Chains A and B, each alone.
Chain A
Amino acid sequence: MDSTQLTTLTGVIDKKMNRQLKQYMDICARCAICKDACHQYVGTGDFKYLPARRAELIRQIYKKYFTKTGEFVPALYEARDPDENLLDELYDSTYACTGCRRCMYYCPFSIDTAWILSVAKAILIAAGKGNEMLGQLADAAIFKGDNAEMFNDVMVSGFEDIQEEVRAITGNPNSRVPVNKEGADILYVALAGAHSIRPAAVIFEEAGENWTISMFEAANYGFFYGDVEKARLITKRYIDEAKRLGVKEIVVPECGHAYRVAEFFYEAWSKEPMPFKISHILEKVDQYIKAGRITVDKGLIEGKVTYHDPCQLGRNGGKFEEPRDIVKAVTDNFVDLTPNRAEQWCCGGGGGIVAMEEFKDVRLASGIKKVEQLKASGASVLACPCENCRLQIEELNEIHELGLQVWQVIDLVVAAMPLKGTKPTHA
């Protein structure tokens, strides 16, 4: 590695260095409590997936270039240059991490390994070793934002088709999927797939909500990729749209990281106050049910139902009770997973890992704790408000023959609503 590249990579750490990162670099006691908290380490037993080890790779560079002891006696203090070997190891450790932050929850010093790995991703990107697939997904999203007019007709046509499906479900020919509706109260930023629009539209329309659908998707692969500027641009697409339409509130779909990005990160990225109230779709649905704006019938869902807390919505987003209240409103046959809420096991599908084929083996192996939880619950239906989690759990469901139906929470709600039309099979 030449001196220019070395300066670039150490400069990334220097730019990210603050008291928080310095504390994380200095404070790890190597107690290894995190080994029992990490689903990937538990599932694979592979040292490189030990949270403390993932962080240690950044710590080694830090010691070499930001401490005198590491600079002058590197062998004694385990200080290393960010050479090709270290970067290759860093790539596996970093992009395989789902960012669930369960290790942080159990760490006696609350070391945020996912935050340290955001520094690792910035280093890898600066070294030209960012994950190609995540980068492509991010660039495609930005391209859609920069060339919105190119996709307008196909998007509107797609929404019209979904509107027909919504009308078939509600049995109401006046049900709508409003597009570009100025003065709407809510901008619903769905996922790219129709499955996240159809049931939400049924619920919004039955609740009499004044809403409109976004032309953009809430998923943010710039966030997973680790490029703050790409992540900001992807989010900005619907922030600008919300400003143009004059809405009061942005509602994000059943997508863990989308909620966290909008609610917690965008302000810092854009360096300006978030001009809109950010809500998760399940907060709205919970309010509709409790306010009597939609009706649900507990007798329409068959079987024992359980609920998986997506890490970005639960442990990292603080939304534990609204989804449970919804599930309990649609069935008397609810059983929680053990452990749950902040201690919930990651399913192994977060952080964009489902899009990275190279990590398929570790991803599936790391799902073993979730499989054990699901088996122990005895449930036949799983409500799960995260796209990545559902993709992972559906694959685990098939491999381990769990016999589960894996539903979005809003699909469960629509299934429990007494509607005049024809109920769809979910998703």
Chain B
Amino acid sequence: MSDETKIDLELDLKGLLCPLPMVKVSQNIGNVPVGGVIRAVATDPGAMADIPAWAKSTGNEVLQAAKEGSEFVFLVKRVK
């Protein structure tokens, strides 16, 4: 999916401990247009629950939450 999706903003969240990856995604979601996508790469495994939970509770959408080696890669779409 990541090869086909247009990325509007890349966030390097490696080394940040939870909940900061979720905080950074939230702080930056307003920096992409509605329908736009953030690609965020984190290393804290807690982000695998935090970022999808944040997206669900704020009405945004996680297109991808995948573990790639020691990293966790998220595609987050701004819905509203």
* Interface of A toward B, CB cutoff 8 Å: 133, 136-137, 139-144, 147, 150-151, 154-155, 158, 161-162, 191-195, 217, 219, 221, 355, 357, 387, 391, 427
- Could you tell me if B17 and A158 are in contact, using CB atoms closer than 8 angstroms? no
What is the CA–CA distance of A151 and B55 in the complex, to the nearest angstrom? 13
- Could you tell me if A158 and B18 are in contact, using CB atoms closer than 8 angstroms? no
What is the CA–CA distance of A139 and B54 in the complex, to the nearest angstrom? 7
Task: Answer whether residue B37 sits at the interface, using C-beta atoms and an 8 A cutoff.
Answer: no
Q: Give chain B's interface residue range (CB within 8 Å of chain A).
A: 20 to 34
Known A136-B26, A147-B56: A193·B44 in contact at CB below 8 Å: yes
- Could you tell me if A151 and B26 are in contact, using CB atoms closer than 8 angstroms? no
- Could you tell me if B53 and A133 are in contact, using CB atoms closer than 8 angstroms? no
**Of all chain A residues, which has the CB nearest B50?**
A192
- Could you tell me if A193 and B53 are in contact, using CB atoms closer than 8 angstroms? no
* Interface of B toward A, CB cutoff 8 Å: 17-20, 22-23, 26-27, 44-50, 52-54, 56-58, 65
Q: Which 5 A-B pairs have the closest CB atoms?
A: A192-B46, A192-B18, A158-B45, A193-B17, A139-B57
- Could you tell me if B18 and A193 are in contact, using CB atoms closer than 8 angstroms? yes
Chain B residues within 8 Å of A141, by CB: 53
Known A133-B23, A133-B26: A143·B56 in contact at CB below 8 Å: yes
Chain B residues within 8 Å of A217, by CB: 18, 46
Q: Which of B23, B45, B49, B52 contacts A355 (CB 8 A)?
A: B23
**Of all chain B residues, which has the CB nearest A144?**
B53
What is the CA–CA distance of A140 and B49 in the complex, to the nearest angstrom? 9
Q: Which of B19, B27, B56 contacts A192 (CB 8 A)?
A: B19
- Could you tell me if A154 and B53 are in contact, using CB atoms closer than 8 angstroms? no
Q: How far is the CB of B58 from chain A (nearest CB, A)?
A: 6
Chain A residues within 8 Å of B20, by CB: 355, 391
Chain A residues within 8 Å of B22, by CB: 137, 140
Chain B residues within 8 Å of A161, by CB: 45
What is the CA–CA distance of A142 and B20 in the complex, to the nearest angstrom? 17
- Could you tell me if B58 and A139 are in contact, using CB atoms closer than 8 angstroms? yes
- Could you tell me if B46 and A357 are in contact, using CB atoms closer than 8 angstroms? no
- Could you tell me if A143 and B46 are in contact, using CB atoms closer than 8 angstroms? no
Chain B residues within 8 Å of A192, by CB: 18-19, 44, 46-47, 49-50
Q: How far is the CB of B72 from chain A (nearest CB, A)?
A: 10
What is the CA–CA distance of A13 and B47 in the complex, to the nearest angstrom? 38
Chain B residues within 8 Å of A195, by CB: 17, 44
Q: Which of A139, A155, A219 contacts B19 (CB 8 A)?
A: A219
What is the CA–CA distance of A46 and B51 in the complex, to the nearest angstrom? 36
Chain B residues within 8 Å of A427, by CB: 17
- Could you tell me if B27 and A144 are in contact, using CB atoms closer than 8 angstroms? no
**Of all chain B residues, which has the CB nearest A145?**
B53
* A140-B19, A355-B20, A391-B20 given; 9 more Cβ-contact pairs under 8 Å: A136-B54, A144-B49, A158-B48, A161-B45, A191-B46, A193-B18, A221-B19, A355-B23, A357-B27
What is the CA–CA distance of A219 and B19 in the complex, to the nearest angstrom? 9
Chain B residues within 8 Å of A151, by CB: 49, 52-53
